[in-house]
Amino acid sequence: MRWASRTQFFASGFIFATWGVHIPTVKAHYGVTEAELGLAMLAAGFGALLGLTQASRWIGRHGARGAAGLSGTVYALLLAGLVAMPGYAALLTLLAAFGVVTSVFDVAINTEAAELELRNGQPLMSGMHGMFSLGGMAGAVTGSAALAAGLAPSSHLLVVAIVMACAIPLSAQWMLPRDATAFAAAGDGFRLPRGALVILGVLAALGLIAEGAIYDWSVLYLKQELGSPQQQAALAYASFSAAMAAARFSGDAMRARFEPAVLLRGSAFLAAASMTLVLLTDAPWQALVGLAGVGVGFANVVPILFAASARVPGVEPARGIAAVSAAAYLGFMAGPPVIGFLAEISSLTAALYLVVVFAVALAASARWAGPT
């Protein structure tokens, strides 16, 4: 069952990385500006918000296994349409649908991971999110290789869509049965976090706004701001994801050794310093090194905060994680369009300094992660 869940996280990261690699492709294909590209990402964000209002109800009805299998398959198939739409308006519609299924899939697999962690009585969440990052690295490297080999973007997207649309429902068959995960959301609509969960949700949102900005804009940053060819620029995503995966796979041991506030503060300062290096250098290879540092810094932010949400007094652990996950996911979807609009009125380099600001804010607020 753990490997079924790990496969889902890997597939989610692979699909998301494939989208990230082809953001410059989408920009060029539809002839849009940074602001229009940001609006397209915002359409995905609104779709995600709609999905979040229904995700817990659907998971309650069908279980994480059923919800992940269906939403993940649709998520994969929509990837093939990214450069096949007849125009910009159609792209907005596709990305809105993309956001709906992405959010449902994300909540479903995190609900499954939370239940597995509770059943096993040991940290598992960092490792699960490590599989997302590993999938992101694999997707970015594969995308870079496909571009270097001259494979048409539409062909690459179609191949990835077909493979992932087969892998997701197949692996979902080995996830926990419906009744095991339905309790976490059964009969509930979307619930905003309350009390201490509000603070944890805001911190998780800050972390994922910054993380989402790297996922969606780092490739374009290397290509547009540093003049890298796209196949080299695609390595920005790979560098970030590979370092994040490595840090997440060691994250459960780190969480057992250090107090959450100490680990969160050190991680956030590392992310801020590394992102500053990325934005100050003119050398692509130094930017890739810096992005790896950003990946290490942000790697365990979400696992730390999810674990803290499971310890809030008077709140069932799975419900605490679900509430903070929802707030974090909203941040993840909101970050890229915010960066796009700031880039339009200033520059992409200036806009990405928001990542530094949010990392410093996380470090300053680390005490809210609580003691071990």
> Distance from CA of residue 41 to its chain's centroid?
13
Q: Is residue 186 part of a domain?
A: no
Q: Is residue 187 part of a domain?
A: no
Number of structural domains, the chain? 1
Domain with 334, as residue range(s), is 2-173+193-369
Predicted pLDDT at 293:
96
Asked if residue 274 lies in contact with residue 222, where contact means CB atoms within 8 angstroms, the answer is no
Q: Is residue 188 part of a domain?
A: no
Q: Is residue 231 part of a domain?
A: yes
Predicted pLDDT at 50:
84
Domain of residue 91, CATH code: 1.20.1250.20
Residue 263's alpha-carbon distances to 192, 252, 255, 288, 305, in angstroms, are 27, 11, 7, 24, 11
Averages of pLDDT over runs of 10 residues in the chain (372 residues) are 89 93 91 88 83 78 88 96 95 95 87 80 81 88 90 96 96 79 50 76 89 84 89 85 88 83 95 96 93 94 82 70 74 77 89 94 88 50
Predicted pLDDT at 187:
47
Predicted pLDDT at 372:
42
Q: DSSP letter string over 234-266?
A: THHHHHHHHHHHHHHHTHHHHHHHS-HHHHHHH
Q: Is residue 255 part of a domain?
A: yes
DSSP class of residue 229?
Answer: -
Predicted pLDDT at 30:
96
Predicted pLDDT at 322:
65
Q: Is residue 184 part of a domain?
A: no
Q: Is residue 180 part of a domain?
A: no
Nearest 5 degrees, angle CA 307-CA 311-CA 314?
145
Q: Is residue 185 part of a domain?
A: no
